[in-house]
């Protein structure tokens, strides 16, 4: 339960089965220090902590005898990983297995997330075999079923306004939106409001969202960029009125369940490599390369590493929106365009200035993000490790970490950045991570050269990762460490960039080589979307009105 005993969106310890037995990793705290000892169900339904922080487990568990998981199919491996963070007193083992099985039954590949050899030391982890052809499906199919499980349990014997109705508000630069909508469409007791930057997602991404006509799905096209959408979502969570009356829920990677579900494929791909390679054995080290925006995907790799997976480094690959790359190079985390006089005229929501000029539109639009929300979670662990050097106890370290993170985030909000962080903090970050920035031209060159060399068509986000992987291989030397580069989306979602790169390639024909049958005719379907100004209060009023109409129409 929240430290003050009150949870602002109505999620309270009384409303779920008491955690009779749990480990530390099955209880959760806020990165800003004011919430602690929450259950998995509480943090999944609340999404964001009352103090504005993100939830993390009170401890990262070591995966017991993880080496013996080598030959397990995806779903069994998922159960082993997830059950370390979810107490069976909250979700009994058979129920968790059922949720996992249902979540991955919608995937087109039997391995769920297959690993393919691309070239030399680089392997591609294909994460796009779910219903919406992007890595988000891995977590959002699971999260949709989790919401359903918790709501069904809470609503037994209840009718009408007594039922727990969750109002999901999310921000998307294209992929989270459709994956969340496919995970939640038509589900009872949930309304979904998905905010995307108008005209700044790819045409296929837009169609995937706006052609879903279920009554509980609402697409809002915001005049602005992705950060404006993310700021509006955070402003809604910070508003006690709407948060408590409408019981807001999160589907972005601020929701802990997103990170947790994504941890599974790091283990799965490691073992796939051990099975597929003649030279790589369980226990050997691997590098993961992760195209990054909001820092959720690479953070899941950090959890896998802390659980015991032999990871040499996690390589963060950014596009020209490079706040993360700049942090690893300088120790400063800065939005850049929000400084000084340039900030004047910026667009304000929740007191955060976000400047249009701050985000560049690139060929990998899903990563056109100025501020990476999950970076806060890593900062907490870095601050905790720094505090440990004082030789005090766990409680003291946690308190210090919470204070440090709150201070940094406050500076980010008021000054547009913070840092340089302490030398030891940066050194710890550099021990586990590397970073690379990849330009649009390099993205196009990579799509082109990989197609010419091995005939594989990369999507532009995956190409950012592959270029970073090539640089990393060069740096460590050929044949030294295998690299698993995450392939985060199917190339058909980004026809513009792929065609730009390959229109001269001999024999390349987009519809024949790339387009899956699921996308054919999407543009002929009916669409439903509302244009809304970049104004969180306008969004709040619209959400209130639509939810009221849905509740009035509900027959249960």
Ligand X SMILES: N[C@@H](CCOP(=O)(O)O)C(=O)O
Q: Which is nearer to ligand PLP, 233 or 366 (CB)?
A: 366
Q: Which of 29, 21, 18 is nearest to 57 (CA)?
A: 29
Can you tell me which of 41, 137, 297, 442 binds ligand PLP, judged by CB under 6 A? 297
Q: Which is nearer to ligand PLP, 400 or 462 (CB)?
A: 462
**Segment interacting with ligand PLP (CB under 6 A) among 231-239, 288-296, 345-353, 389-397:** 288-296
136 is catalytic: yes
467 contacts ligand PLP (rule: CB under 6 A): no
Q: Which is nearer to ligand PLP, 42 or 440 (CB)?
A: 440
318 contacts ligand X (rule: CB under 6 A): no
Q: Which is nearer to ligand PLP, 148 or 322 (CB)?
A: 322
The CB-of-317 to ligand PLP minimum distance in angstroms stands at: 9
491 contacts ligand X (rule: CB under 6 A): no
The CB-of-175 to ligand PLP minimum distance in angstroms stands at: 3
366 contacts ligand X (rule: CB under 6 A): yes
**Segment interacting with ligand X (CB under 6 A) among 288-296, 463-471, 512-520, 536-544:** 288-296
Torsion-angle region of residue 46: left (phi > 0), alpha (psi -120 to 50) or beta?
alpha
Binding mask 207-236 for ligand PLP (x = CB under 6 A): ------------------------------
Q: How far is it, in rounded angstroms, from Cα 1 to Cα 280?
A: 45
Torsion-angle region of residue 217: left (phi > 0), alpha (psi -120 to 50) or beta?
beta
Sheet holding 166-171, edge to edge: 248-249, 166-171, 190-197, 217-222, 530-532
CA-angle at 367, arms to 173 and 120, nearest 5° = 135
* C-beta of residue 411 within 8 angstroms of C-beta of residue 290: no
CA distances from residue 198 to 141, 249, 520 in whole angstroms, order as listed: 25, 23, 23
Q: Which is nearer to ligand X, 36 or 262 (CB)?
A: 262
278-297: b or e for each residue (b if 16 or more CB lie within 10 Å)? eebeeeeebbbbbbbbbbbb
The CB-of-241 to ligand X minimum distance in angstroms stands at: 24
* Residue 252: contacted member of ligand X, ligand PLP, none (CB under 5 to 8 Å, by partner type): ligand X
Binding mask 233-252 for ligand X (x = CB under 6 A): -------------------x
CB atoms within 10 A of CB 53: 23
Q: Which two tokens stand for residue 131?
A: 């219903």
Q: Which helix (H) or strand (E) holds 354?
A: strand 352-354
Sheet holding 115-119, edge to edge: 115-119, 122-126, 483-487, 286-291, 311-318, 433-437
Can you tell me which of 36, 87, 294, 406 binds ligand X, judged by CB under 6 A? 294
Tell me, letter by letter, the H, E, C secondary structure of 32-57: CCCECCECHHHHHHHCECCCCCEEEE
175 contacts ligand X (rule: CB under 6 A): yes
* Residue 291: contacted member of ligand PLP, ligand X, none (CB under 5 to 8 Å, by partner type): ligand PLP
Scanning residues 312 to 371, which ones bind ligand PLP (CB under 6 A)? Answer: 366-367
Q: Pick the catalytic residue from 46, 136, 234, 493.
A: 136
The CB-of-406 to ligand PLP minimum distance in angstroms stands at: 23
Q: Which is nearer to ligand X, 91 or 300 (CB)?
A: 300
Q: How far is it, in rounded angstroms, from Cα 195 to Cα 170?
A: 6
172 contacts ligand X (rule: CB under 6 A): yes
Can you tell me which of 144, 177, 291, 482 binds ligand PLP, judged by CB under 6 A? 291
Q: Which two tokens stand for residue 373?
A: 């929300």
**Segment interacting with ligand X (CB under 6 A) among 5-13, 19-27, 293-301, 417-425:** 293-301
Q: Which is nearer to ligand X, 36 or 364 (CB)?
A: 364
Query: Is 393 exposed, middle or buried, given 0-12, 13-18 or 19+ CB atoms closer than 10 A?
Result: exposed
- DSSP, residue by residue, 301-341: HHHHHHTT--EEEEEEEE-S--HHHHHHHHS-EE-STTSGG
Binding mask 241-260 for ligand PLP (x = CB under 6 A): ------------x-------
- Residue 475 neighbours by CB under 8 Å, 6+ apart: none
Give the footprint of ligand X on this chain (CB under 6 A): 172-177, 252-253, 293-294, 296, 366
Q: Active-site residues: which are they?
A: 136
Give the footprint of ligand PLP on this chain (CB under 6 A): 134, 175, 253, 291-297, 366-367, 461, 488-489
């Amino acid at each position: 339960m929240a430290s003050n005993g009150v949870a602002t969106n109505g999620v309270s310890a009384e409303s779920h089965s008491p955690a009779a037995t749990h480990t530390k990793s099955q209880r959760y705290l806020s990165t800003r220090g004011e919430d602690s000892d929450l259950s998995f169900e509480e943090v999944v339904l609340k999404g964001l902590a009352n103090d504005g922080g993100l939830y993390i487990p009170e401890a990262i568990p070591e995966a017991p005898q993880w080496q013996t998981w080598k030959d397990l199919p995806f779903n069994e491996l998922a159960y082993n990983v997830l059950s370390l963070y979810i107490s069976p007193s909250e979700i009994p083992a058979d129920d968790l297995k059922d949720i996992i099985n249902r979540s991955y039954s919608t995937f087109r590949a039997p391995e769920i997330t297959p690993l393919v050899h691309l070239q030399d030391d680089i392997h591609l982890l294909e994460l796009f075999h779910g219903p919406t052809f992007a890595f988000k499906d891995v977590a959002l199919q699971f999260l949709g079923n989790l919401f359903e499980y918790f709501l069904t349990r809470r609503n037994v014997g209840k009718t009408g306004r007594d039922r727990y109705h969750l109002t999901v508000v999310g921000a998307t630069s294209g992929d989270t939106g459709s994956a969340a909508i496919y995970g939640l469409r038509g589900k009872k007791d949930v309304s979904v409001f998905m905010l995307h930057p108008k005209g700044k997602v790819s045409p296929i991404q837009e169609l995937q969202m706006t052609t879903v006509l279920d009554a509980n799905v609402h697409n809002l096209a915001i005049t602005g960029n992705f950060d404006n959408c993310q700021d509006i979502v955070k402003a809604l969570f910070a508003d006690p009125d709407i948060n408590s009356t409408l019981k807001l829920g999160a589907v972005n990677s601020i929701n802990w369940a997103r990170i947790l579900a994504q941890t599974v494929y790091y283990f799965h791909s490691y073992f796939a490599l051990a099975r597929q390679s003649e030279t790589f054995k369980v226990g050997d080290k691997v590098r993961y390369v992760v195209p990054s925006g909001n820092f959720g995907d690479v953070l899941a790799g950090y959890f896998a590493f802390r659980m015991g997976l032999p990871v040499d480094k996690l390589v963060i690959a950014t596009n020209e929106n490079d706040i993360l790359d700049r942090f690893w190079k300088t120790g400063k985390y800065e939005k850049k365009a929000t400084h000084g006089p340039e900030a004047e005229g910026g667009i304000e929501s929740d007191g955060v200035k976000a400047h249009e000029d701050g985000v560049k539109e690139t060929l990998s639009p899903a990563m056109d993000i100025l501020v990476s929300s999950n970076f806060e979670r890593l900062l907490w662990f870095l601050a905790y490790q720094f505090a440990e050097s004082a030789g005090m106890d766990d409680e003291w370290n946690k308190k210090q970490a919470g204070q440090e993170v709150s201070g940094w985030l406050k500076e980010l909000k008021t000054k547009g950045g913070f840092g340089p962080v302490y030398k030891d903090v940066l050194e710890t970050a550099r021990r586990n991570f590397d970073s690379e920035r990849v330009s649009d031209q390099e993205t196009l060159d990579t799509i082109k050269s990989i197609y010419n060399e091995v005939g594989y068509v990369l999507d532009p986000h995956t190409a950012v990762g592959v270029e970073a992987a090539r640089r990393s291989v060069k740096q460590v030397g050929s044949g030294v460490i295998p690299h698993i580069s995450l392939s985060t989306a199917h190339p058909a979602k980004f026809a513009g960039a792929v065609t730009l790169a390959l229109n001269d390639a001999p024999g390349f024909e987009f519809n024949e080589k790339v387009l899956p049958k699921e996308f054919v005719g999407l543009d002929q379907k009916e669409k439903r979307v509302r244009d809304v100004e970049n104004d969180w209060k306008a969004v709040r009023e619209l959400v209130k009105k639509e939810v009221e109409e849905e509740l009035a129409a509900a027959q249960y």
